[in-house]
Amino acid sequence: MARDEWDPRNLPDLSGRSYLVTGATRGLGYFSCEQLAGAGAHVFLTGRNPNRLVTAKAAVKRTHPDASVETLLLDTSNLGSVRAAAATVRARGRLHGLLMNAGIVHPPKTRELAGGHEKVFATNVLGHFALAGELLKPLASARGRMVWVGSMSTSIWTHVPTDPELREGYTPWRAYVQSKAATTALALEADRRLRAHSVPVESLVAHPGYSTSGRTRGIRGVNEPTRLTRFVDNLQAPFTQSKDEGAWALVRALVDPLAEGGSMYGPALVARGVPRSATPARRTRDSALGADLWRACETGTHVRWPFERVRRTAS
Ligand SMILES: NC(=O)c1ccc[n+]([C@@H]2O[C@H](COP(=O)([O-])OP(=O)(O)OC[C@H]3O[C@@H](n4cnc5c(N)ncnc54)[C@H](OP(=O)(O)O)[C@@H]3O)[C@@H](O)[C@H]2O)c1
């Protein structure tokens, strides 16, 4: 198979490997779990709502009766919840992959706070920064990988996250695009720092194109779009795809043995298609922006990634 070819319907055997997915109760996170579990992986299906977790786990089991799936409460907007979930996973030893998918996709109309931080930044960015730092050791023990979920919106709109908490000029769309630009910049900064400290963990970015629930098969309690949503989403069919197809790029970034730290995957036709390598928006590749955001995340979460300690124990 050529380097950039990948059949998302025919994944490598993932038996004996374990993956954690945030925001796994619906959408791309749910379908990523289905695909990983279907390939034999053990999956930590995580979310903020216990009932939705039970429903999502049952749905994965209906599709793959032999799936090895466990649920774990993890609210990315709550650093206490992030720490508790990470402690549970650390106690298990090794983790082969972390998919940081959870996100507020439709932000509140006016600026709200979660744990003292702007809510979209807290949920989409800070919680994941803390989680990845807390899981560095089990990831390094497995020579594993972390995947941050970006968005093609960052290549279209030019919101640079120089004020990540959006103290001035909040709009819902700005909060969303900024959070995704920050996510991508942090993924690339993490790659630089992991390499500099010789920590055997790769950091990658993936984006799902434009994936809608109305173009996705119905699953009780997981994907139940209204008739109107189905109608409207189907009108956009030429430039959209289903959420299970959107999950392909996320899963490829997580499990393709040839994928490398610092790279990005997305749909071949940008908004839809089979997963191919992609290019992060130019301004997200700016290392000064990455370093500024890293500092903002350390200050906002009080988490410092334990690079040196992990390198010593991994070598
Ligand atoms: N769909 C697209 O076209 C698209 C394009 C670009 C990027 N993305 C990115 O892909 C990711 C998933 O998007 P999606 O379309 O699948 O969205 P979605 O259907 O709205 O699903 C979002 C998931 O995130 C979870 N979530 C929200 N806040 C959370 C929190 N505080 N703690 C833990 N989980 C939380 C939700 O949990 P609940 O079930 O509890 O609400 C849900 O499981 C997001 O990061 C989004 O930015 C999506």
Rounded distance between C-alpha atoms, residue 37 and residue 61, angstroms: 9
Q: Is the pLDDT of residue 1 over 80?
A: no
Confidence (pLDDT) at 5 = 83
90 pLDDT tier (thresholds 50, 70, 90): very high
The whole-number average pLDDT for the span 40-57 is 98
The set of protein residues with a Cβ atom below 6 angstroms from ligand 1 is: 22-23, 25-29, 47-49, 52, 75-77, 101-105, 123, 149, 151, 180, 207-208, 210-211, 243, 246
Tens of pLDDT along 136-164?
A: 999 999 999 999 999 998 988 777 778 99
User: What number does the ligand 1 atom closest to the CA of 152 have?
Assistant: 6
Tens of pLDDT along 197-221?
A: 999 999 999 999 999 999 999 999 9
Ligand 1, atom 27, lies closest to the CA of 103
Judge whether 102 and 140 are in contact, CB under 8 Å: no
* Least confident span in 65-69, 197-201, 309-313: 309-313
User: What number does the ligand 1 atom closest to the CA of 100 have?
Assistant: 45
Confidence (pLDDT) at 96 = 98
Domain ranges (residues) in the chain: 18-314
CA 278 to centroid of ligand 1, rounded, Å: 21
Confidence (pLDDT) at 3 = 64
Tens of pLDDT along 230-245?
A: 999 999 999 999 999 9
At the topology level, CATH places domain 18-314 in Rossmann fold (3.40.50)
Q: Which residue among 48, 74, 251 has the greatest number of ligand 1 atoms within 8 angstroms of its CB, and so is best to mutate? A: 48
Q: Is the pLDDT of residue 2 over 60?
A: no
User: What number does the ligand 1 atom closest to the CA of 210 have?
Assistant: 3
User: What number does the ligand 1 atom closest to the CA of 123 have?
Assistant: 31
Confidence (pLDDT) at 161 = 78
